[in-house]
Amino acid sequence: MKVTVVGANGQIGKQLVRLLKESGHTPIAMVRKQEQVDEFSKEGIESVLADLEGPVSDLVEAFKGSEAIVFTAGSGGSTGLDKTLLIDLDGAVKTIEAAEHIGVKRYVMVSALQANNREKWNKDIRPYYVAKHYADEMLIASDLDYTIVRPGGLLNESGTGKVKVAENVEKGSIPREDVAKVLLEILDAANTYRKSFDLISGEKPIKEEIDKL
Amino acid sequence: MKVTVVGANGQIGKQLVRLLKESGHTPIAMVRKQEQVDEFSKEGIESVLADLEGPVSDLVEAFKGSEAIVFTAGSGGSTGLDKTLLIDLDGAVKTIEAAEHIGVKRYVMVSALQANNREKWNKDIRPYYVAKHYADEMLIASDLDYTIVRPGGLLNESGTGKVKVAENVEKGSIPREDVAKVLLEILDAANTYRKSFDLISGEKPIKEEIDKL
């Protein structure tokens, strides 16, 4: 499947792009800078330049030929809340609009644990949750075949391949590598269409947890 | 009609509350501070204490007995973007949820000129437009009898009673007093239900412009 990864240069994005390639998909790494294009190119990975702060028409152009979009971009902890609004919320919604416009039905969103549950938002980063929550809400309101994945605290350690997937998990963490593996697993799993779930490390193999959805 | 004005202590809110009272409605001024309650009380205006950063259940409590909600709150220019996210976006959506929960169908939102039109957002305050835009989108996705009023640049001068109302006005300004008068005029105008419009100063009397919607 030809899959555009939005935020391919991010820590989850990079791992996902490689996993996609290894598993026979055709990843398109959407990135903002020419140097990132060059880096992916060295690995034999196709990429496309586009900016989430640019017009929707640029994203439509970038998505041409894709069969699925995975949104794993994030403004990151080091930028201001202007970027939280412009990237995590409006940028995400622009990609939804572009996908709808061009008829790419399959859309996977990387959200955040409990982003759907206002009462559980960590006080220190509530504004970030607001942005993620409404991006998710706009996706739910779309007619795309979406899956919203809400991982817990992201770790850089190696994945275990064992996770817990549930509608409502209060807290937990998960290696980024396992998040990337879950994204790969659900990509063409029709049983995950129009569903959202929390995701943390757990006891069960990824496929088993996904199959039960 | 019993009308809760959210953000009653704001510059438009204060004028609207008085206009409502003068015209035979029963305004409820929703405010955040006891001293504001006392001030409205001196004018014989009922008020209710509630915080847009609090739980939806507090807003449900505050809206009890109301027949309409007017949202004219704003985080203001002097606060940070955290408040833009928490008040202008999430706070607004909480009032929508509270209105839905309690069955208050009529809901009037004060938005901003061209908030529906990403390409026209003033670059300097784009994050603010993002917040307003998605609050409006969530209202449109609700099943409330909403009207979204998108005024141009707000002036403190006296109103003229002459306005221009249209789906798409590129630029313009309007005295806050005229915005308040428009809010009063549309409150029980069923022809404005589930509609949104830009609003600036113009040539026509308010009622004439509203009637044509």
% of residues, chain A, pLDDT over 70 = 100
Structure confidence at residue A39 (pLDDT): 96
Domain residue limits at A126: 2-211
Three-state DSSP state, A171: coil
Distance from CA of A164 to the nearest CA of B (A): 29
ipTM of the complex: 0.93
What is the mean predicted confidence (pLDDT) over B63-70? 98
Distance between alpha carbon A108 and the CA centroid of its chain, in Å?
6
Question: Residue A201 burial by CB count (10 A; 0-12/13-18/19+): exposed, middle or buried?
Answer: buried
Distance from CA of A20 to the nearest CA of B (A): 33
Res B137 pLDDT > 70: yes
Structure confidence at residue B60 (pLDDT): 98
Are B26 and B46 within 8 A, CB to CB? yes
CA atoms of B107 and B70, how far apart (whole Å): 6
Mutate to test the interface with B, among A79, A90, A120 (most CBs of B within 10 A): A90
Are A104 and A68 within 8 A, CB to CB? yes
φ, ψ (nearest 5 deg) of residue A50 = -160, 150
Beta bridge partners of B52: none
**A81–B86 CB contact, under 8 Å:** no
Measure Cα distances from A197 to A58, A152, B202 in Å.
Answer: 30, 11, 50
Q: How many domains does chain B have?
A: 1
Report the candidate in A119, A133, A132 with the shortest Cα–Cα distance to residue B54.
A119
The per-residue pLDDT for range A125-143, each reduced to its tens digit, is 999 999 999 999 999 999 9
Whichever domain contains B8, its CATH number is 3.40.50.720
**A93–B127 CB contact, under 8 Å:** no
Mutate to test the interface with A, among B79, B130, B132, B133 (most CBs of A within 10 A): B130
